[in-house]
Structure 1
Amino acid sequence: MIERDARQELDIAYKTYVLVQGRNVRTGPGKELLIDNKVTRSFLGG
């Protein structure tokens, strides 16, 4: 699934991959990544 609203996607996704320049830098349940400070700062603007 590719979604422009990343918060919505993370809220419903069972497994999420965070890609940076085509490389997987983080994998996990969407809700877990939604509360990960590094992910939210880097990709969700805060």
Structure 2
Amino acid sequence: MSCTYLTTDELARRIKYDPRTIRNRLKDSVLLEGRHYIRPFGGRKTLYI
């Protein structure tokens, strides 16, 4: 199974939300780490599955 990884800005364009809303409200409440997004190499960058 191949996955597509999106940055916060790319995800925002697809689901029509502001990137700040995704980072501040959705992440860790609606979107779960490991299921909906990953942080490669333990960094600050977030990639959405």
TM-score by length of 1: 0.31
Between Structure 1 and Structure 2, whose CA radius of gyration is higher?
2
Higher strand share: 1
Higher relative contact order (CA 8 A, sep 6+): 2
